[in-house]
Structure 1
């Protein structure tokens, strides 16, 4: 018998992230319409999620600890990240996260829950409880696709070589 946890284990790339206000107003795209993200579920029940808005401002200082106020706001408002432990309730199709570290510190040591559903290699998630986002109570909806790639794929596509070349100026 396959459990939902077995289906979750692995790496997922983000296809969409939408927030729907519970008051019925139009859907929101707080991280833009094309955010980049990865969601990783390990077999030992640890997880990590990182979602970034396209077009966040680069730090002109080139120092991660010395952004301008505008750069810092772009960076923080354009990123969602947390990591911790997860547990899947097969009877309700809900995954519960015990957040150990989050960009948004109010989530630290809290439990976040997401309703999950699968369609082939696609994972649909919905927040179980509304959360406050930009002054509105919203439910978040995420669509993920299972990643099935080896490190060799990145070398074949030149992704790692390109990153190395662009970073070699700092050596």
Structure 2
């Protein structure tokens, strides 16, 4: 009996919970831009759409409960402690890559951008690496580890 290896197209769709979001600089130093306790969700639909949301813990609440207004320091902390983008994606099985078309993004520089993400599945984890990106003014490599979400 042949042991068939599943493809990215077969394994990627679904909801994923963040395990770790870390970056590594050129000297090998690892940091956690949204904190070691960041939480997040990534959703990949089989039809080719995705959404990624990651946030730091402990962001200050907006006084009064308004969804769009708060003290400047709370609004700045909310934006600095959040990474979000959504759009469509295309899989390139032979390269182990997913190219994400970021149709909307909290980061205005990413809106309308296409970005490759390199995909691995290891021990029931989804590991996503990107090409180097600028974080805190320095070019760094990102590594996101996800586990399948449970309902």
Measured against the shorter chain, the TM-score band is: over 0.9
- The residue that corresponds to 2:133 in the other structure is 131
Matched ranges for 1:147-162 at <5 A: 147-149=149-151
State TM-score, norm by structure 1.
0.82
Q: Structure 1 residue 36 and structure 2 residue 39: aligned?
A: yes
| More displaced stretch, 9-18 vs 66-75 | 66-75
- The residue that corresponds to 1:52 in the other structure is 55
The two structures, once aligned, show a CA RMSD in angstroms of 1.2
Of 4, 9, 12, 2:13 maps to 9
- The residue that corresponds to 1:156 in the other structure is none
Matched ranges for 1:160-171 at <5 A: none
Take 2:127 and 2:28, find their aligned partners in 1: how far apart are those partners? Answer: 22
Query: How big is the shift at 1:68?
Result: 1.3
Task: Report Cα offsets for 1:85-138 as digits up to 9, x if no partner.
Answer: 0111100101110010000011011111111110242111111x2111111111
In terms of fraction of residues, the more strand-rich structure is 2
Of 14, 21, 25, 2:25 maps to 21
Query: How big is the shift at 1:139?
Result: 0.8
Take 1:48 and 1:6, find their aligned partners in 2: how far apart are those partners? Answer: 18
**How many residues were matched structurally?**
147
Q: Cα–Cα, structure 1 residues 121 and 74, in superposed 2: closer, same or farther, change >3 Å?
A: same
In terms of fraction of residues, the more helix-rich structure is 1
Task: Report Cα offsets for 1:36-88 as digits up to 9, x if no partner.
Answer: 10000001100001001010111123212221111011100100000000111
Instruction: Extract unaligned runs of 5+ from structure 2.
Output: none
Matched residue of 2:115: which SS?
strand
Query: How big is the shift at 1:25?
Result: 5.4
Query: How big is the shift at 1:3?
Result: 2.3
Take 2:28 and 2:73, find their aligned partners in 1: how far apart are those partners? Answer: 29
Take 1:73 and 1:29, find their aligned partners in 2: how far apart are those partners? Answer: 19
Of 99, 121, 130, 1:118 maps to 121
